[in-house]
Chains A and B, each alone.
Chain A
């Protein structure tokens, strides 16, 4: 928009009438007064109340998201009005409070349509790059203690971990790496404390773990983190722990970009650039399961998992061939060796591939925990 800091040289319009400072003050007072009244009357808790304080590390954008704790447009993000003590709930509509890092954001976003269908309300509160390890960047304990009493949810869904597999500061001020025993102790303490706080008063808590990652160094740290989470959840029967780890691995229990979805078709579940984040398809798969848990707790039944007609003939599902695919590429995507893939399909490496062909995905190696979709009883319809 053009600047207006000088009047036009030739005036074709009558001159702008200047106002006095008192006039401006009056307009300002009236204007803000009206705005305040309007906001109060419509009970909006989405007013621009305060800036994101910079010494929390700010909410300046990273390369992957500017939308920090506001969530996406589909989820009912909220910063409760500081004048209200609680955020009002609708009669008979249970409230879910979903909190965590960017992975929680993905989960919450894909959870929303399921919850809408179930008649459950969601408040999504995620912060990119956050977690329990770096409370100097963003303190989740503080945030939860602020939000949970205000929202008073029936269910809390929590997902951290992606940003937590890094050096942690112990109470005595020392920083230790993930492979140190003190790390597991300290992180476990923080997780346990958070679990205890959230489940106070019998509130239902669904704690979602982490997925595996492609880079080995990162994955090794995530393994440690996952063990801590499993241990903390194991001693707390009131916490429902949803473990995404086996849900998104290939037949050998390690990272795979393409995983067989609940409908039997192998799909890309991971985000293209980082070998860790789930893309919307993956997030939806996870959301489906979390919705089932929420359904059990709230008594509002979740949509059933789709049927998988493809778990037959020694396969756990199928992969649809895309343009440019080769056996080795498909094998890498599925997280299996080329030999195993060829063997499962009963072919040799020079077998031609055509677009839209269905390739069988090998079943999980026995003893490895991978969650395959449940085979259905009805025959496949091609």
Chain B
């Protein structure tokens, strides 16, 4: 069951009640959540649970081995094994036997890459965990903890990728059932549902899909809007599911890092990639970039490392030329920006550079993301070629559509304080008002969303 469904809501209600009833006894509570997570995963396909179990056991063995061998020559071997295991799992599962399926229809292609869902994120967590143990950031944990760290169901399908040092300590802390951060949780679940079910679907059906299917039927402005529309659709998918994951975790008393930090109003490409799909970007930075030497290899070397990291990300996305090219192009653009504008500080560009940089960044990113959506290079060139036809029809660009795009982008400029303020107001309203608000959001989403919940775009990876 996908998260935004009635069936899952029922499942979550049961887990929510069970979790808080069992909280006083840490060991039992962890086992309960672990069991619930496996039940959730088994709902999709029971044999994936075996994969999950295997990965858990391997991670446990490897993290312990890496920890014990720190400082000894054997450490390198353990590390190599540690990285090889999840990577192999990922490769086998993505490019293994089902890759030999006769890919006659695009349906075959989808089935081949959709199995098993979200295993990328599991592999990332495993690799990061072992790396963190090696770097001394975290100690190996009990098997149950490791198991829950990998299987925690709110983030099992679509991330975010959780860091061990952010998650494991929370399992040992006592949580008071009288102090749930209910308001931010409910707000996130509401916005998550709206983003993932309503906005994402609306943009896909009304703009992105028609234009990408037949670019010749549309004018330059529409094609441009569709490129931006795809970026926003993807943001709503990833961000929406991240909202749901963070919200659900909060309801269970656990904190996860959000996957999107207002990327659409980033002032530069470097800032964009630091804010888009944060936890996955963090994985590539910590595993690939840092291992290559990161910033320490100085000027040209660092740039090369950046580029290589992006290409590896492209390869992770898939074996299609367009995907690898996406990685390479994105990497090249970031390197170019670094060369021209220098490495950015943590606050990003300021002043005029920010004002000018924000729309430019959005434009550049929208156009580069086209590569993620098209089925072939020909389609990409055809689509981008349409940008020169200023006279073509633009009838898809209704005021509602444009307003939707603008709203999603502009809402990202709203500072976090405002959202906290909303949470505060929400938390002080009476129960009945909160319930009515929840019902209203659910009703809205049910009416405006698709009749059948489709898996979000990013589950292809």
Assess whether B312 is interfacial by the CB under 8 Å rule.
no
Give Cα distance in the complex from A23 to B208, angstroms. 41
Residues of B within 8 A of A138 (CB): 107
Q: Is the CB of A134 within 8 A of B453?
A: no
Q: Flag A96-131 by CB within 8 Å of B: 1 or 0 each.
A: 000000000000000000000000000000001110
Say which one of A43-51, A232-240, A313-321, A341-349 lies at the interface with B. Answer: A43-51
Interface residues of A in 64-81 (CB under 8 A from B): 64-70, 72-73, 77-79
Say which one of B57-65, B281-289, B350-358, B426-434 lies at the interface with A. Answer: B426-434
Residues of A within 8 A of B173 (CB): none
Residues of A within 8 A of B340 (CB): none
Q: Flag A216-238 by CB within 8 Å of B: 1 or 0 each.
A: 00000000000000000000000
Q: Flag B84-122 by CB within 8 Å of A: 1 or 0 each.
A: 000000000000000000101111111100100100000
Assess whether B77 is interfacial by the CB under 8 Å rule.
no
Give Cα distance in the complex from A321 to B178, angstroms. 75
Contact among B107, B255, B434 with A62 in the assembled complex (CB-CB below 8 Å): B107
Say which one of A27-35, A199-207, A294-302 lies at the interface with B. Answer: A27-35
Assess whether A7 is interfacial by the CB under 8 Å rule.
yes
Q: Is the CB of B420 within 8 A of A13?
A: yes
Contact among B104, B110, B421 with A60 in the assembled complex (CB-CB below 8 Å): B110
Contact among A16, A30, A51, A167 with B181 in the assembled complex (CB-CB below 8 Å): A16
Residues of B within 8 A of A38 (CB): 439, 443
Min CB–CB distance B145 → chain A (angstroms): 21
Give Cα distance in the complex from A62 to B13, angstroms. 34
Assess whether A380 is interfacial by the CB under 8 Å rule.
no
Q: Flag A1-27 by CB within 8 Å of B: 1 or 0 each.
A: 111110110001111111111111111
Q: Which partner residue on chain B sits nearest A59 by CB separation?
A: B454
Q: Is the CB of B258 within 8 A of A5?
A: yes
Given contacts A54-B44, A73-B205, contact A60 B454 (CB under 8 A): yes
Q: Is the CB of A8 within 8 A of B428?
A: no
Q: Is the CB of B431 within 8 A of A23?
A: yes
Give Cα distance in the complex from A3 to B449, angstroms. 24
Interface residues of A in 279-322 (CB under 8 A from B): 279-280
Contact among A15, A31, A54 with B439 in the assembled complex (CB-CB below 8 Å): A31
Interface residues of B in 159-206 (CB under 8 A from A): 177-188, 191, 197, 201, 204-206
Q: Is the CB of A52 within 8 A of B114?
A: no
Give Cα distance in the complex from A137 to B108, angstroms. 8
Min CB–CB distance A132 → chain B (angstroms): 13
**Interface size bracket, B side:** 35 or more
Q: Is the CB of A47 within 8 A of B261?
A: no
Contact among A21, A58, A167 with B177 in the assembled complex (CB-CB below 8 Å): A21
Q: Is the CB of B424 within 8 A of A63?
A: no
Q: Is the CB of B184 within 8 A of A60?
A: no
Min CB–CB distance B112 → chain A (angstroms): 10
Residues of A within 8 A of B261 (CB): 2-3
Q: Is the CB of B114 within 8 A of A31?
A: no
Residues of A within 8 A of B117 (CB): 54
Min CB–CB distance A136 → chain B (angstroms): 9
Min CB–CB distance A367 → chain B (angstroms): 34
Assess whether A142 is interfacial by the CB under 8 Å rule.
no
Q: Is the CB of A31 within 8 A of B45?
A: no
Assess whether B50 is interfacial by the CB under 8 Å rule.
no
Assess whether B256 is interfacial by the CB under 8 Å rule.
yes
Given contacts A1-B191, A20-B177, A38-B443, contact A72 B427 (CB under 8 A): no
Nearest 7 interchain pairs by C-beta: A31-B438, A30-B435, A34-B439, A3-B258, A63-B375, A272-B216, A19-B182
A-B contact pairs, 28 of them (CB 8 A): A2-B415, A2-B416, A3-B258, A3-B260, A3-B261, A5-B184, A5-B256, A12-B417, A13-B421, A16-B427, A18-B179, A20-B179, A21-B16, A21-B20, A21-B177, A23-B182, A28-B16, A39-B443, A44-B447, A50-B6, A50-B453, A51-B7, A60-B457, A61-B457, A61-B460, A69-B451, A130-B107, A134-B107
